[in-house]
């Protein structure tokens, strides 16, 4: 592999895993200062969306927080800035930006607001990856992908979308019906490793798993034993009650207390090797395998087949079809995913940051001026590369916020503070919280994910797959897709195979359990795997997988790959409760409900606080936090 992309992840796994525990606060500040001073490969004008290499939780964004959370290391002295704000928001993801917008709407445009974020870009998981090749801009989704079922959003969320001018019906009309991630009726295939490359099984694998289309011929084309094929056909097509020996009460108990994978092994009779094929969509959708989904949870996540459930058959079959053919149509995409939502919020909060932008009509193609985000003459300021390490109430009238930026320890004050960061970090930022609340905040574990965007200089080889969504259950990256094919936001997608394209590759690093490990334990293992995997390793996996997948169509990774951006999210999806591990708490007593309690002039807003990894939940959390603070003065 003689050709290499230029940017590298310069922190090796050992340094990430244990290094911060050995570093004194002064050394840590010096380390972060050196990292922040000159990003490798940076242009003269720093423009984060166009950076390649390791992104997402990038080097320089997490070291200070890790030192605090793992070992209690933080600066002992701070320079107090002459800055006081009406509201300080910790975290500039969707929830934090929405909170700033809701506060401004309630208090007026003169409200003084400061947003602090540890990353070098805003949006949190809504990450924009921008590439340029031969005079064309191509975009990739670096994290949060879509507006899922926007017709079902609350009035609060619909109101915010209206404020931003987002037209979901136009988004649907702007998106190609051939884009399978928004329309599972489009071609999507299964790719299995074979000698000399991948063996492709298509033309619509997602529908085949639900007994639709030519599912029989597709199953018969799988390179597995005929007996396994027979079992899959029975699973996909129905005709057999796999729980026929159980009473109604026992069936209900079974589907809520037995894992989907155990059901497939014990009731359907599949071999363990076959389970990986059926896990691919679950791993991408929820981030973990069927071993940690109950049968019922797998059904609601559109797990393959399961019409053969006796009394549930009709309900299961209709549910699967609704999920595959219904909700998928309602998933609306910007060309850079939900990054455009974050950009629209920033545009409304700080117009000078996007002086040439009109709004929804051109947000995808507008270039942002990052130097304008934190100007002293702006009522709303967004300060990036700023890791908060302390939040304290000062009597009944103000809040002190300590943070580290470019190696300097700084302090600002505000009338109110909203913590729009990860739940598990909050007890370390705000140790004065009640013990029960801190314990609740530490309950969940975020779902780790890796989204890689690969710039291909042209789309010839990829187009010959005759599908733009590929399930790769046995590969490092479980799902491969083209970037969203949409003109929303003024974007021009590739016009044909001669144009450069972006390929999105999605991985779930959470392992299957070996014994009785809880999902939270497995998520922590997955998180460590993400942190300890170097960019070089990801790059090799990407090149090898694409070469095997596309090599038969003339692809040469050394010639055809223009750039690679790996968005690692060790703290990805918000934790959502699973019936195999989590009790059924009384209303108001679940950890996310106890953890989000208001603490005087401090409120909490994030998707963790809603136990739901969806954009609308993050927005509603921002609304709740602002309501708490404005009602209490």
pLDDT digit string, tens, across residues 519-528: 999 999 999 9
pLDDT digits (tens, 9 = 90+) for 598-619: 999 999 999 999 999 999 999 9
Quick one: three-class SS letters along 538-592?
HHHHHHHHHHHHHHHHCCCHHHHEEEEEEEEEEEEECCCCCCCCCCCCCCCCCHH
- CA gap 114, 375 in Å, rounded: 11
Q: What is the DSSP letter of 30?
A: H
Give pLDDT, residue 304.
Answer: 77
- CA gap 15, 30 in Å, rounded: 15
- CA gap 256, 585 in Å, rounded: 16
Contact predicate 51/7, CB 8 Å: yes
Predicted structure pTM score: 0.92
Give pLDDT, residue 41.
Answer: 36
Question: What residues have CB less than 8 Å from 631, skipping those under 6 apart?
Answer: none
CB atoms under 10 Å from CB of 196, counted, come to 8
CB atoms under 10 Å from CB of 457, counted, come to 16
- CA gap 305, 99 in Å, rounded: 41
- CA gap 368, 10 in Å, rounded: 28
H or E segment and range at residue 357:
none
Contact predicate 498/458, CB 8 Å: yes
More confident residue, 310 or 66: 66
586 phi and psi angles, rounded to 5 deg = -60, 155
Q: Which fold has domain 66-124+334-443+579-631?
A: FAD/NAD(P)-binding domain (3.50.50)
Question: What is the dihedral sign for C-alpha 256, 260, 265, 267?
Answer: positive
Give pLDDT, residue 500.
Answer: 98
- CA gap 544, 557 in Å, rounded: 8
pLDDT digits (tens, 9 = 90+) for 484-530: 999 999 999 999 999 999 999 999 999 999 988 999 999 999 999 99
Helix (H, G, I), strand (E, B) or coil at 87: strand
End-to-end CA distance of the chain: give it in Å, rounded. 61
Domain 13-52+126-183+445-573, classified CATH 3.40.50, yes or no = no
When the pLDDT of each residue in the chain is averaged and rounded to a whole number, the result is 90
| Residues, the chain | 633
Q: For 242-354, list the strands marked E by DSSP.
A: 332-333
Mean pLDDT over residues 326-355, rounded? 90
Question: What residues have CB less than 8 Å from 510, skipping those under 6 apart?
Answer: 283, 287, 288, 289, 447, 448, 522, 523, 525, 526
Give pLDDT, residue 352.
Answer: 97
Mean pLDDT over residues 152-162, rounded? 98
Among candidate residues 62, 168, 203, the one with its CA nearest the CA of residue 120: 62
């Amino acid at each position: 592999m003689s050709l290499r992309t230029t940017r590298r992840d310069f922190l090796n796994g050992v340094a990430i895993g244990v290094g911060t525990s050995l570093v004194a606060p002064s050394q840590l500040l010096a380390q972060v200062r050196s990292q922040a001073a000159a990003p490798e490969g940076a242009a003269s004008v720093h423009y984060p969306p166009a950076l390649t290499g390791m992104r997402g939780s990038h080097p320089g964004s997490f070291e200070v927080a890790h030192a605090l959370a793992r070992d209690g290391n933080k600066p002992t002295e701070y320079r107090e800035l002459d800055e006081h704000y009406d509201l300080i928001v910790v975290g500039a993801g969707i929830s934090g930006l929405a909170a700033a917008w809701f506060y401004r709407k309630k208090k007026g445009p003169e409200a003084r607001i400061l947003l602090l974020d540890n990353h070098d870009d805003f949006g949190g998981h809504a990450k924009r990856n921008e590439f340029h090749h031969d005079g064309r801009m191509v975009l990739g989704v670096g994290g949060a992908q879509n507006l899922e079922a926007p017709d079902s959003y609350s009035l609060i969320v619909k109101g915010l979308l209206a404020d931003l001018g987002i037209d979901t019906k136009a988004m649907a009309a702007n998106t190609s019906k051939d884009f399978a991630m928004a329309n599972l009726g489009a071609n999507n295939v299964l790719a299995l490793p074979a000698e000399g490359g991948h063996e492709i099984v298509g033309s619509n694998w997602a529908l085949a798993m639900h007994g639709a289309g030519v599912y029989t011929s597709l199953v018969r084309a799988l390179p597995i034993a005929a007996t396994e094929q027979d079992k899959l056909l029975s699973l996909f097509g129905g005709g057999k009650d796999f729980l026929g020996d159980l009473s109604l009460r026992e069936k209900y108990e079974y589907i809520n207390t037995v894992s989907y994978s155990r059901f497939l092994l014990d009731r359907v009779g599949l071999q363990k090797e076959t389970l990986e094929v059926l896990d691919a969509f679950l791993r991408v959708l929820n981030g973990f395998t069927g071993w940690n989904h109950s049968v019922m949870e797998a059904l609601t996540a559109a797990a393959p087949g399961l019409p053969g459930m006796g009394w549930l058959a009709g309900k299961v079959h209709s549910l699967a079809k609704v999920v595959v053919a219904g909700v998928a149509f309602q998933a609306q995409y910007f060309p850079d995913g939900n990054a455009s939502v974050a950009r629209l919020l920033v545009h409304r909060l700080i117009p000078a940051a996007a002086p040439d932008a009109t709004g929804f009509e051109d947000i995808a193609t507008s270039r942002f001026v990052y130097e304008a985000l934190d100007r002293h003459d702006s009522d709303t300021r967004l300060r990036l590369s700023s890791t908060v390490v302390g939040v304290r109430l000062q009597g009944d009238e103000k809040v002190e916020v300590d943070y580290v930026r470019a190696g300097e320890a700084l302090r600002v004050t505000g009338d109110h503070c909203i913590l729009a960061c990860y739940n598990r970090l909050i007890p370390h930022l705000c140790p004065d919280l009640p013990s029960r609340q801190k314990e609740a905040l530490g309950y969940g574990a975020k779902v780790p994910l890796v989204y890689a965007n690969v710039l291909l200089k042209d789309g010839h080889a990829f187009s010959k797959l005759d599908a733009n969504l590929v399930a790769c259950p046995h590969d490092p990256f479980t799902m491969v897709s083209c970037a969203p094919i949409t003109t929303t936001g003024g974007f021009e997608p590739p016009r044909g195979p001669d144009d450069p394209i972006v390929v999105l590759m999605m991985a779930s690093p959470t392992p299957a359990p070996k014994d009785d490990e809880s999902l939270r334990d497995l998520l922590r293992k997955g998180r460590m795997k993400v942190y300890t995997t170097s960019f070089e390793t990801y790059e090799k996996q990407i090149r090898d997988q694409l070469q095997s997948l596309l090599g038969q169509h003339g692809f040469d990774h050394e010639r055809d790959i223009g750039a690679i951006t790996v968005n690692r999210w060790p703290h990805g999806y918000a934790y959502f409760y699973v019936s195999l591990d989590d009790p059924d708490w009384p209303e108001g007593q679940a950890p996310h409900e106890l953890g989000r309690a208001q603490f005087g002039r401090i409120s909490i807003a994030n998707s963790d606080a809603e136990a739901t990894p969806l954009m609308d939940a993050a927005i509603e959390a921002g609304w709740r936090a602002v309501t708490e603070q404005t009602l209490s003065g």
